Each structure stands twice: as C-alpha cells, then as structure tokens.
Amino acid sequence: MLSRIADSMYWMSRYIERSENLARILDVHHNLQLDLPGEADGQWRALVVTTGDAAAFEGRYGAYDRENVLQFLIADPLNPNSILSCLASARENARTMRESLSSEMWEQVNGAYLAVREVEHRLPGPDALHGFCRQIRMASHLFGGVTDATLSHGEGWNFIRLGRMFERADKTLRILDVKYFLLLPKVEDVGTPYDNILWTALLKSASASEMYRRKYHQILPARVAEFLLLDLEFPRSVRYCLVKSEESLRALSGTPPGRYNNQAEQQLGRLRAELDYAQVGEIIQSGLHEYLDAFEAKLNKVGDSLFEVYLARIPTAGAPAPGADQ
C-alpha cells in the first residue's frame, strides 16, 4: 500500500474519532449544567484544555463563556480540532482515496460532514445541543460499523484501526488528567456529592459510566483511574487501545509476538507492557497528573515513529516494505 493511502486512512480515522470524542464531552458538559447550574459555568475552560487548544482559544476569543467555547469547538473553521474541521479533514482524506474505500464508507463520511455544515453559521441552542451531539456520535459509530462490515480486514483496515485506537487512548488520557488537575481544585470537595457528580461526568465523557458501575458499582476515584487506564476489556481504556494498536502493527509487519521489527513496534510494546504490570495505587502515589503527562508524551513519540516507518515514504518497486525483515 502506498504511504499516501495509508496516511489518509490513518488520519481519516483519527479525525472521525476526534469529532465523536468532542461531541461526547460537549454533551456531558451540557447535562452537567442541569445537575450543577451555575457551578458548571466555570468548567468551560476544562473542555478546551481537554482538546489541548487553550492557547489558541485565548488568543482569539478571550472569555470562556458558553457561546465562545461552543463556536470554537463545534464550528470554527480556523480551529483544526473543531467538529467541523475534523469532519472536513476526514472527508478530504476520504475523497483522495475513494477507490480504496467502500461506497458505504464514503457515503457515511460525506453525510456526517454535510450534517455539521448545517450548523456552521448557527450554533445549536440549549434544547438542540444534545440532539446535535448525538448525531455526531452516531455518525462515528456508523462509520466504524460500516468499515468493519464492508472493508477487507487487510492493510487499510489496520491503518484505520490504528488511527481510531491512538485517538481514543490520547483522549482518555486527556479526560482523566483534566479531572484530576483542573475540575476539582478544592480539597474540601473530595468525597462530597459534588465530587461524585464530577466523577460520573468523567466516566460519561469516556462512555464508561455503565460498564464501570457494572464492574465496581461504587464511584471510587482510584477505581475510575484503574478502569480507564488498565482495564483489558473496556474498549476505551488506554490499555485496551494499546493492545489493539499493537495487534494492527504486527499484522502490518508480520512480526510475531515477543519481537519487533521497527522502532514503532518497540516503543508501543514497551508502553503496552508498562500498563500490563502497572498498579493504580503506585501510579496515584507517584502522582497521577505527572504519570498521565509523561505517558501521553511517550504515546506521541510512538505516533512520530509510526509516521516515520509507515507514512512518510513510499517504498520503491522491489524494495522491502517498511518494518519487514531485511
């Protein structure tokens, strides 16, 4: 597969997953305002910080109020991480490689983009925001289902899964970090009903509330961190995402378990092994924010290596594919 096609598949998938994650946290914050009227207004900044775009927002908007944050996160064409920009980028990547996708995949990407264009100049009001966010989430779910059902599970499918899993892992790390570092600055709030509402909102931001309660029943901060970081069965936990990413990398290179053929496989294997043997108590004791920050930096390095090995060059005829035995 040409690296151009692989790169487009990888980033198309990441952009679609990013739009869904953003729609989910917007919807959760909207519902949080109903539970904590007034108090939730001060958490608009946390939404922007979760995307990593606080500096860009402050340089152009200034105040963290509802209208500014929604415009920035939903329909700002100058914000590369807005829902509109993400779906526009996903559609453009899909357009450049339509021959490599099924017709159903293209229709789903194109339809999601056209739907969000309708709110570009008129943001959804309080009564319509939930419906809009649900529409974006369902578009992403449908794309994933259509991809699995209509695309051969070969190289292209593995690059799409890599993009999805990397994006999920990154956003789960960010959501968990923001909770610890920003959302609860007062020590006296710990253990109060207010605290429980925020932890529940955190779980909902990762679509994890129901699965967490089925496993642990009671909201306990250490258990929440353990579930989102280390659970091997929940599809949005960081560990699960890394396991599936490693499976796709090995499928691309043909490397057997316990070995690696390139730097991306080596770095990803180390990160996955780190979570395999990690204990949440030790992580929290050493500083959860510091751990999450360092882990995200390592994940970004894996992404850089993935680009260098698979996406930055086009193999010449007769040359071994990136990552193959030489």
User: pLDDT tens-digit profile of 252-287?
Assistant: 999 888 888 899 999 999 999 999 999 999 999 988
239/6 Cα distance (integer angstroms): 24
110/211 Cα distance (integer angstroms): 32
31-55 b/e (C-beta count within 10 Å ≥ 16 → b): ebbeebeeebeebbbbbbbbbebee
Cα-based distances in Å from 316 to 151, 243, 306: 26, 31, 19
Cβ distance 115 to 143 under 8 Å?
no
Other beta carbons within 10 Å of 256: 9
- At 232, is the pLDDT very low, low, confident or very high (cuts 50, 70, 90)? very high
What average pLDDT does range 12-32 have in this prediction? 92
Residue 124 pLDDT: 84
218/232 Cα distance (integer angstroms): 20
Residue 326 pLDDT: 32
Ranking 141-145, 220-224, 320-324 by mean pLDDT, the lowest is 320-324
What average pLDDT does range 10-20 have in this prediction? 97
Predicted confidence (pLDDT) at residue 216 exceeds the cutoff of 80 = yes
Residue 321 pLDDT: 39
Predicted confidence (pLDDT) at residue 320 exceeds the cutoff of 50 = no
Cβ distance 79 to 56 under 8 Å?
yes
Residue 162 pLDDT: 96
What average pLDDT does range 131-152 have in this prediction? 95
Residue 29 pLDDT: 84
238/203 Cα distance (integer angstroms): 14
Ranking 78-87, 194-203, 222-231 by mean pLDDT, the lowest is 194-203
**Dihedral (C-alpha) 204, 210, 213, 219: value to the nearest 10 degrees?**
10
C-alpha distance across the termini of the chain, in Å = 18
Could you read off the pLDDT of 142-169 as tens digits, one per residue?
999 999 999 999 999 999 999 999 999 9
What average pLDDT does range 21-30 have in this prediction? 90
Which residue is it, tokens 């198309």? 12
35/99 Cα distance (integer angstroms): 48
What is the crossing angle of helices 3-35 and 44-51, to 10°?
170
Could you read off the pLDDT of 287-316 as tens digits, one per residue?
898 999 999 999 999 999 999 998 885 443
Write the burial class of residue 99 (CB in 10 Å: 0-12 exposed, 13-18 middle, 19+ buried): exposed
- What's the whole-number average pLDDT of the chain? 87
What average pLDDT does range 123-139 have in this prediction? 90
179/248 Cα distance (integer angstroms): 31
Q: What are phi and psi of 112, to 5 degrees?
A: -65, -40
Work out the percent of the chain whose per-residue pLDDT is above 70: 88
Residue 36 pLDDT: 65
Q: 13 is written with which tokens?
A: 């998938």
172/159 Cα distance (integer angstroms): 20
